[in-house]
Amino acid sequence: MKILVDANVILDILQKREPYYKDSATVSKMCETDLTEGHISALTFANLVYIMRKELDPDSIEQVLKTLLMIFRLDDLTRSDICNAASLKWNDFEDAVQTVIAKRIDADYLITRNIKDYEGGEIKAVTPKEFISEYNRIIKK
């Protein structure tokens, strides 16, 4: 099973944001232990650094990147991704880019806490909690 993880889920982990931390960390652990193939986009990493710029010095940024690369596959942002996202005409361009990348990598799910932002996307968006439940349901079959 292949998933693309949205920036808000990674931020839940990095900033230990409650009440979301536990489920987001569980999804990360599932990726780290190869229970599922986890991906993040290059856009997500850039957004993380921008959001956490007051908390991260250059050494910390490098350490976060190294840690994320041990857990997730990092997918490039291409010209086609930008063009395809623009053609969706979504209000939130970043979300359009994420859904386009999820489609390009043939993800089964896009993991996010903002499901409503992905309505109309071709890849099913679910929360970390929903993904864990779905994964457990599929494995029990």
Residue 13: pLDDT over 70: yes
Beta strand 109-111 with 124-126 is: parallel
Query: What's the number of domains the chain is made of?
Result: 1
Write out the residue range of the structural domain in which residue 54 sits: 2-140
Which tens digit of pLDDT belongs to each residue from 90-109? Answer: 999 999 999 999 999 999 99
CA terminus-to-terminus distance, the chain: 15
| CATH code (residue 88) | 3.40.50.1010
The per-residue pLDDT for range 21-78, each reduced to its tens digit, is: 999 999 999 999 999 999 999 999 899 888 888 888 889 888 988 999 999 999 999 9
